[in-house]
Amino acid sequence: MKSTPCERCCKLVPAHDLTHFTTKAGALLLCTQCFNTEVAQLSGIEDFDNHPLEPVSITAADGVVHQFHLRTRLLGAIVTLDAYELKENEPSGYQFQLVGKPDEDRFVQLGRLVDRIRRTLATQYLEDGRAGFQIKDMQVKGAIEADMSDEGDLWGSRMPMLVIDGRDVSWEEFGRMLMTFEGFQFKLEMVDKSDDLAS
């Protein structure tokens, strides 16, 4: 596991736990705890709950257990609580975000986020068919990421990589899945990362 030192506390932390913090004085690479401390001081928040949260494991509808790492970030008037899986020490698979208020009880926020994760993992959108994975019930939900294996064009644009049921699905694979519905109409709706996709 590759670790990098926080430029405030000097603790070695994985890359997914670092944030670029920029002020008039310059830029620093800070661990989540130091980042929150800096933002709390700048925002005049004295009693922000800055305790790290332990990972949680949740079982999906197919019986697979998913471990979610948790990160709380104070962003002035709001706080984000992120839950994400790791693959090769990088966020990958299911990723969730909850936006709340800095003075809200952290465990109440965590309870809301875990409830959202459970509801999302209770539904499977893909099933294994003769030609590989297929869309199960005429509906699919997931997340859009960048396909890092695609070198991109002259402007650096890459093809999308979709995350459905916590698995990476290439644009090409998804296109083949859609051909099962040749002749059908479709509706595409974009939803912010912090919105509840399960509802």
Q: What is the DSSP string of 120-187?
A: HHT---EEEETTEEEESSS----EEEE-TTS---TT----EEEEETTEEEEHHHHHHHHGGGTT----
Q: Hey, which residues does 133 pair with through a beta bridge?
A: 128
Backbone angles phi, psi at 64, to 5 degrees: -80, 135
Q: What tokens appear for 7 in the block?
A: 């430029």
Please say if the pLDDT value at position 178 is more than 70. Answer: yes
Q: What does the alpha-carbon distance between residue 190 and residue 1 come to, in Å, rounded to a whole number?
A: 34
Reduced to 3 states (helix: H, G, I; strand: E, B; else coil), residue 53 is coil
Q: What does the alpha-carbon distance between residue 108 and residue 53 come to, in Å, rounded to a whole number?
A: 13
Output the pLDDT for position 87: 87
**Sign of CA pseudo-dihedral 189, 192, 198, 199:** negative
Distant-in-sequence, close-in-space partners of 17: CB < 8 Å, separation ≥ 6: 31, 32, 71
Please say if the pLDDT value at position 199 is more than 70. Answer: no
Q: Where are the domains of the chain?
A: 3-121, 126-181
Q: Is the pTM of this model over 0.85?
A: yes
Classify residue 81 by burial, with Cβ atoms within 10 Å: 0-12, 13-18, 19+: buried
Residue 24's pLDDT band, with cuts at 50, 70 and 90, is: confident
Backbone angles phi, psi at 44, to 5 degrees: 70, 25
Output the pLDDT for position 1: 57
Residue 155's pLDDT band, with cuts at 50, 70 and 90, is: low
Output the pLDDT for position 142: 94
Output the pLDDT for position 129: 82
Output the pLDDT for position 30: 96
Output the pLDDT for position 3: 85
Average pLDDT over residues 112-139: 92
